[in-house]
Amino acid sequence: MYPIFSARRAGCLNANNSLRLSGLLYLQNVLGRMLVGMREDIRRSLKLNRDLGRLLEQALEVDRAIKIGWSRSGDEIPKDGEMGVAPALPKGGRVRILGKLTDVVVPFASGGAFTLVGSADDYFGAWNSGANLIVERGVKNHLGYAMSDGRIIARDGAGDDVGATMSGGLLIVRGDAGKRVGGGMQGGIIIIHGDVAAEPGAGIQGGKIIINGRCPSPGEGVEFSTLSADELMAVNHEIDDASLEVPPDALCLIPAKQTSLRPLPPEAIQHGDWSTIGMVVGEHSDRPLHPHQTIDTMVILGERNIVEGEMEPEPIGLPLPIIPTIDSGKDLKGRHLSMQPCLVRRDARSIDLVYIDSENIHEAHVHLPESGGLVLDLFDLPPLTLPALDGLLVSLRSMVGEGRPFMLVGDVNSVERLHLAAASACVDGVISRVADASGIPAVAALPRTGRSAGSADLHATGIAVGYSLPWSASGNDLAIACAAGGSFVITRPPDEAGTTAKFDTWLEGLHCELRGEMVRLGCDSIDKLGRRNLRALDHETASISGLRLAGYGRPLPHWFAS
């Protein structure tokens, strides 16, 4: 969706950096789509999910199946190119669809049955937790990714990473499969009636991979085995389909007694904070404000132009440019807390955003419907192509509500890719995580994010820019973020704000601190804060950030050439 233009935070740091020619051509494509609202394929996909949800409610009441892609007289009207279709299929739901669908079809299913009479692209049946899913034609990569229960059958082969990280259930492929079948799986059974490509079972920790075809030598941590007569009987009993039965001479891959070495992700490192950045009165600012003057500290997330065929926006307001992050939104009450949206993992209030990552994405259908929006962390999800990201976002939008704010978060060292993905997906906001495994100084996040946001033209297209801070923010930090081109910060409250009452008191203190800064700076709205109000307090900060060095009054010489 295309958010309305806002001049807010227009003074981002060093935002004149240009992309490579290929990046510019891609960006022109993206922005051209945004100017007329969301892409037609996304609009069609969301509408299909709305219709499907309504039909499912009616069908469950009378215990009937749903058929999509055929007219009442039986003529074929196949779907073509829809993505993110049928998320969170409920128990008892039965759906049959005709067509060529793309990415992330029937994710997060908790029960029911789904048959695709056609083909699909990546992540068909991802995060399945109990449904019976069938795809009749070809399917691409990551079939059944992270499934924990249920059954998936692909009747015409599959691409790479079949059953990657699955922990339970039964996954059957009739036909050849690509590389890394069962990569990182922890449980369940994968059956391939065909040949498999390189690295079968890479990183397997549990479960079985049964191959009725040719198989290359497995790598470290995987070993060949055979099925005993009892195991073979049990597997074929579970399959319960004579055409898919496993023969006695099938190969079986299991974890080796001596497991392979697993990568250990490095921890995020906090290197400094923003205390070496000062706030000064702008060169042409008026005198300080009267202490009792009205000051605007409100930020609106999710403002959008309404385009025909799209749902009404449901924006949320931040009384301060901050979204505190805590585990649960349960019992958050107080003078300030009652109006302050928070970022939570569960028990969201209607004003709260739900934080979704690899640990709780399989429960997204439980946490999202009652919330005010969501923030998706791309860091520890599998590498997603832009089409796959589109499909995932469509499915999540359909669960949370199309009009509610939707934001992405990622590491500052991959912020350029993050911003391009945000522009492509037409999200409402994008958040840079200031601390990552590289250990870059916190002040470096400002020019890195500002340059990227300028190149992706995020401000002109209404996409809010945020910073996720590894320390508990002060009112001064909020002012710095807004002056540097941001719209808000995400931060945990201090340890001493452990109770609801103390949490509310901390928010009240932030209100007072930020208002005090703005009175001193002569700004009656956070919209009026800009780069002119920022100064580097030491040479190192000026060198890293490009801010004017206090006393010197201008950026250091090497920034003039940037």
Q: Tell me where in the chain the CATH 2.160.20.60 domain(s) lie.
A: 65-255
- Yes or no: domain 21-37+269-560 corresponds to CATH 3.20.20.70: yes
What does the alpha-carbon distance between residue 97 and residue 351 come to, in Å, rounded to a whole number? 35
The residue ranking higher by pLDDT, 18 or 362, is: 362
- Distant-in-sequence, close-in-space partners of 278: CB < 8 Å, separation ≥ 6: 534, 535, 536, 537, 550
Within 10 angstroms of residue 499's Cβ, the number of other Cβ atoms is 9
Strand, coil or helix: what is 154? strand
Residue 210 has pLDDT above 90, yes or no: yes
Burial of 556 (0-12, 13-18, 19+ CB in 10 A): middle
Say if residues 394 and 46 touch (Cβ distance below 8 Å). Answer: yes
- Hey, CA dihedral for 321, 325, 330, 335, is it positive or negative? negative
Four-point Cα dihedral 355, 358, 364, 368, nearest 10: 10
Provide mean pLDDT across the span 467-480: 95
- DSSP letter, residue 527: G
What does the alpha-carbon distance between residue 253 and residue 251 come to, in Å, rounded to a whole number? 7
Look at residues 168, 57, 188 and name the one whose alpha carbon lies nearest to residue 112: 57
Provide mean pLDDT across the span 310-320: 88
Among residues of the chain, what percentage have pLDDT more than 70? Answer: 91
Q: Tell me where in the chain the CATH 3.20.20.70 domain(s) lie.
A: 21-37+269-560
The residue ranking higher by pLDDT, 226 or 191, is: 191
- Hey, CA dihedral for 64, 65, 70, 74, is it positive or negative? negative
Weakest-pLDDT range from 18-32, 268-282, 314-328, 530-544: 18-32
What does the alpha-carbon distance between residue 480 and residue 556 come to, in Å, rounded to a whole number? 20
The residue ranking higher by pLDDT, 35 or 418, is: 418
pLDDT at 57: 93
Residue 336 has pLDDT above 90, yes or no: yes
Provide mean pLDDT across the span 240-253: 94
The residue ranking higher by pLDDT, 235 or 9, is: 235
Element containing residue 475 per DSSP (H, E): helix 475-483
> What is the pLDDT confidence band of residue 438, given thresholds at 50, 70 and 90?
confident
Mean pLDDT estimate for the chain: 88
Provide mean pLDDT across the span 261-285: 82
Q: What angle do CA 491, 496, 498 make, to 5 degrees?
A: 80
Residue 20 has pLDDT above 60, yes or no: no
* CA distance readout (Å), 448 to 287, 327, 418, 478, 544: 32, 29, 12, 18, 10
- The pTM (predicted TM-score) of the whole model is 0.87
Number of Cα atoms under 13 Å in the Cβ half of residue 447:
21
Burial of 55 (0-12, 13-18, 19+ CB in 10 A): middle
- DSSP letter, residue 508: H
What does the alpha-carbon distance between residue 87 and residue 399 come to, in Å, rounded to a whole number? 7
Residue 34 has pLDDT above 70, yes or no: no
pLDDT at 122: 97
Say if residues 76 and 56 touch (Cβ distance below 8 Å). Answer: no
> What is the pLDDT confidence band of residue 26, given thresholds at 50, 70 and 90?
very low
Look at residues 324, 291, 350 and name the one whose alpha carbon lies nearest to residue 506: 324
Q: CATH: 2.60.200.20, 2.40.50.100, 2.160.20.60, 2.30.30.40. Which one for 65-255?
A: 2.160.20.60
> What is the pLDDT confidence band of residue 258, given thresholds at 50, 70 and 90?
confident
